[in-house]
A and B are shown apart, each in its own frame.
Chain A
Amino acid sequence: MHNLFSAALTIGATKTPEAVQFWILAPLAVLAAVGMLVVKKAVHSALLLAWIMISLAIFYIAQDALFLGIVQVVVYTGAVMMLFLFILMLVGVDSSGSLVENIKGQRGAAFAAALGLGGLLTSLIGRAIVPHEAIGLTVSNSAGNVQGIAQELFTQYVWAFEVVSALLITAALGAMVLAHTPKSSPSQRFLSTARFRGESLSATAGLAPSGVFARHNAVDVPALLPDGSVAAESISATLEARGDMIVSTPFEMKPQIEEEN
């Protein structure tokens, strides 16, 4: 036991540049981790997570695991977090997490699962470390960092590697099947044919944009049709939903000629 402890101490003794790097980055990473849980906006917390991933990558690189560090940035920061951001932006700019428990007992289950995962990781790492002497990075990197990883990945662990990749592909396919819905809207081609064969040709050349024939040409002023009535469809649906549309009655042209006569 004592032997192991002193070995851990010697391994733990770092060189100065690495120590400086650690003491600058580690507090920042921990702060970001805390901030990730605390901040309100989902995008902010995604950003902080991206920062944690990048600082982890820098730690890996500082400990001579060059390939792991770079791949961490390419895969996690570049692809996974970017997908996260994509979804967040798609869902809404100001979306923030709701604290209401939708599924009953979810918190308890999540806590139990987290404990289980933690236990699993601890036991695995412990089993890898305790009975063995660490051979050190210089030995395992002797053929080159990338070559060493490739050797392990494609010889000893090729089965586990392929199983994990099959699992991931199955998950991706499953997600696609679950999210797939039959196409509900008709195709552009169908719509254009329908426009020409429909009741009226008035919309074939597109609807009148806002302001046509009206007194103003602002986006919130509806167009007037040739007979002087208001074309409500000339205003963007968003403006209409927001209630930003100007009341159109004053813009309507009454058939005044008859009144004058």
Chain B
Amino acid sequence: MTISQLIGMDPGWISAIKGLIAFVICVLLTLFAIWAERRIVARMQMRVGPNRVGKFGLLQSLADGVKLALKEDIIPKAADRIVFVIAPIISATTCFMAFAVMPMTGKVSLFGHTTALQLTDIPVGVLYVLAIASVGVYGIVLAGWSSGSTYPLLGGLRSSAQVISYEVAMGLSLVAVFMYAGSMSTADIVAAQAHGWYAVILFPSFVIYLISMVGETNRAPFDLAEAEGELVGGFHTEYSSLKFALFFLAEYVNIMGVSALATTLFLGGYHALPGLGFTENWLGGWFTLFWFLGKVLAFFFIFIWLRGTLPRMRYDQFMKFGWKVLIPTSLVWIMVGSTFHLLKMRNASRIAIMGFGIGVFLLIMAGFTFSEWSVKRAKANAVEPELPAPSFPVPSITRSEYING
């Protein structure tokens, strides 16, 4: 029996319990993630990080949560009251919904009922996650608009443009996965990776997804919607108390959501690392949850690492990168990947497949060489702007050729 049939036979109360488990996992992961992020970033910056509340400061996020809840809740006079209240609610409710289709374990026994820890399996599961993510962004955009203040508005504007651009790249990076798995359901995609992770087979898709998932969740180096150096706090400048806490929660659950999707689509989901397949039967199958969470947390570590390492991109660079690099690259890769898939399906000879691969490689190299050559030529032909000579003594201006090579 396949996993999706197994899930389809769940009685209502089992589904309710599974929903509750998914929710609790998300909230606990968030509490842990905030602590882990602060500790790890601190370590990267040679600080100690929170270490006062509880052992190793583990309860710090809990204390912060209590503090946030007890703070004064301020709604600015210029704010649009209804939308101002709705915005954080949209953010905080939609972020959990993606977990409904995440396969977190293989076959397990839950209160004597054989099932899998996945709330539901729909044939368009991955598209559903994309849809939910795009609704969740409304929270950020509306928060920016409804605050009635300039910085949040700019943050909201940036966020809406950012999400439209990076969702295109994200959607395109998933196309190759759908083609190879022959399905858009998360359970089927996990099952299709039994003989090799898509992170290896579809490496370009994996890289594009990794980049666009950082853009989609508004995290450094793409956190332009809340760029504290430019926009104070961005979309959440005017928020305080529990409403701010909801945005905080949504951000981390969203990170867990895109990481869980990456795990499902590219790292074989809840399955063990290659060669450790025997562990999947431990604890009656529940050990697979450990593998799933381990992979999700590995992605989360990458998020922290990026934040500790990279400076924020400038907005125009960020948009240029999305539209002029990520999207064309994924379009080309879709063509190449689908041709490989077709060749394999038609049982083409190994030589034909390798010939095609080498041909594509040579074409790409030729393209790079040509573009570099034309950039060099354009630079050589560039005319320096004619400017009036200065009327006072200044040091001689370094000629731009010396600087730019």
Interface residues of A (CB under 8 A from B): 41, 43-44, 47, 50, 54, 57, 66-67, 70-71, 73-74, 77-79, 82-83, 85-86, 89-90, 93, 144-146, 190, 193-194, 196-201
Contacts of B153 in A (CB 8 A): 89, 93
Contacts of B123 in A (CB 8 A): 66-67, 144-146
Can you report 15 A-B residue pairs in the complex whose CB atoms are below 8 A from each other?
A54-B135, A67-B127, A70-B128, A70-B131, A78-B137, A78-B167, A82-B137, A85-B141, A85-B145, A89-B153, A90-B157, A93-B145, A196-B394, A197-B388, A197-B394
- Does B124 count as interface, using CB distance less than 8 angstroms? yes
Contacts of B148 in A (CB 8 A): 93
The CA-CA distance from A85 to B156 in the complex, in Å, is 10
Given contacts A44-B83, A86-B161, 7 further A-B contacts (CB under 8 A): A43-B145, A70-B127, A77-B135, A82-B138, A89-B145, A89-B160, A196-B394
The CA-CA distance from A15 to B307 in the complex, in Å, is 51
- Does B95 count as interface, using CB distance less than 8 angstroms? no
Q: Are A73 and B131 in contact (CB under 8 A)?
A: yes
Q: Number of contacting residues on B, CB 8 A?
A: 39
Q: Are B141 and A194 in contact (CB under 8 A)?
A: no
Q: Are A194 and B387 in contact (CB under 8 A)?
A: yes
Q: Which of B127, B164, B391, B397 contacts A82 (CB 8 A)?
A: B164
Q: Are A146 and B124 in contact (CB under 8 A)?
A: yes
Chain B 393-405 interface mask (CB, 8 Å, partner A; 1/0): 0100100000000
The CA-CA distance from A135 to B133 in the complex, in Å, is 35
Name the CB-closest residue of A to B389.
A197
Most B CB contacts (10 A, CB to CB) among A47, A85, A193 go to A85
Q: Are B387 and A82 in contact (CB under 8 A)?
A: no
The CA-CA distance from A78 to B171 in the complex, in Å, is 12
The CA-CA distance from A90 to B154 in the complex, in Å, is 9
The CA-CA distance from A73 to B141 in the complex, in Å, is 17
Within 8 A of A (CB), among B150-174: 153, 156-157, 160-161, 163-164, 167, 171
Contacts of B83 in A (CB 8 A): 43-44, 47
Contacts of B394 in A (CB 8 A): 196-197, 201
A148 to chain B, nearest CB (A): 11
Chain B 173-214 interface mask (CB, 8 Å, partner A; 1/0): 000000000001000000000000000000000000000000
Name the CB-closest residue of B to A238.
B150
Q: Are B145 and A193 in contact (CB under 8 A)?
A: no
Closest 8 CB pairs of A and B: A78-B134, A73-B131, A197-B387, A86-B160, A70-B127, A74-B131, A70-B124, A70-B131
Q: Which of A47, A50, A79 contacts B167 (CB 8 A)?
A: A79
Contacts of A57 in B (CB 8 A): 131
- Does B40 count as interface, using CB distance less than 8 angstroms? no
Q: Which of A41, A71, A85, A197 contacts B160 (CB 8 A)?
A: A85
Q: Are B157 and A74 in contact (CB under 8 A)?
A: no
Q: Are A89 and B157 in contact (CB under 8 A)?
A: yes
- Does B390 count as interface, using CB distance less than 8 angstroms? yes
Name the CB-closest residue of A to B391.
A199
